[in-house]
Amino acid sequence: MEKLIEGGLWYFAFLISTTLHEASHAFFAFRLGDHTAYEGGQLTLDPVPHIRREPLGMVVVPLVSFLLGGWMIGWASVPYDPRWAYENPQASAKMSAAGPAANLLLVLASALFIRLGMLAGVFYPLETIDTLRVIGAQGHFFVAVAALLNVFLSLNLLLFFFNLLPLPPLDGSGIVPWFLSREQAQSYLELIHNPSLSFIGIFIAWKLFDIVYSPLHLMFVNLLFYPEVHYG
């Protein structure tokens, strides 16, 4: 039963986080001139249209990864017009940045609730942390809330940092045109749309992320608990 409840918390956080991420892409694309995701029904906080578009990444892989590893990975996507992105590389870059920005918003919201809970005396920093748990609580209700906040914090911190890696097909690669001239950005977009680069990019991203995530997570947690606690 405990594993079932934990899985339910993870899947709830996963659905909220990925749906907000993709809806943010769709919203900024719509505001900046590309109505593809809106017309496809993806400009919504309802997870169902996103699940229908990516059932493997939104249902199968998250549940299997939780059963095998105790945490969830997966993916979702929204459609966009590549011609619009090519003609408007700066707008396209803003659309790409919107997804990680949504995850950062959830990270900051989780951190705010954790700090408020600590001020109220219902949450406390764990003596030993890992990338999935940083706070504990007493009492059944607050234990459940702490568990949910742990999941939201760790999942969205991971999604934020991972998606910022400037490797295709991650959002970070789509943000690069923001810093280029229009001509340079168009040449860059032509380059990264090569499907073989996406496979190479994902492989490099996973290898690189294994190295960089733990220090980034530790840095954020130390900022979260400063000045009360410091983890080495």
pLDDT over 90 (residue 67): yes
- Report yes or no on 31 lying in a domain: yes
- Report yes or no on 165 lying in a domain: no
pLDDT over 90 (residue 198): no
- Report yes or no on 14 lying in a domain: yes
C-alpha distances (whole Å) from 164 to each of 58, 69, 127 are 20, 24, 30
The C-alpha atoms of residue 147 and residue 155 are separated, in whole angstroms, by 12
Percent of the chain with pLDDT over 70: 100
Is 29 exposed, middle or buried, given 0-12, 13-18 or 19+ CB atoms closer than 10 A? buried
As given in the structure block, the two tokens for residue 181 are: 């001239």
- Report yes or no on 24 lying in a domain: yes
The C-alpha atoms of residue 60 and residue 54 are separated, in whole angstroms, by 10
- What confidence tens digit (pLDDT) does each residue in 126-140 have? 999 999 999 999 899
The C-alpha atoms of residue 208 and residue 49 are separated, in whole angstroms, by 32
Question: How many domains are contained in the chain?
Answer: 1
What is the span of the domain harbouring residue 44?
1-80
* Model confidence band, residue 223 (pLDDT cutoffs 50, 70, 90): very high
**What pLDDT does residue 57 have?**
96
- Report yes or no on 218 lying in a domain: no
Q: Mean pLDDT for the chain?
A: 95
- What confidence tens digit (pLDDT) does each residue in 156-173 have? 999 999 999 999 999 999
Torsion of CA 167, 168, 171, 177, to 10 degrees: 80
- Report yes or no on 7 lying in a domain: yes
User: Average pLDDT in the 178-195 region?
Assistant: 94
- Report yes or no on 146 lying in a domain: no
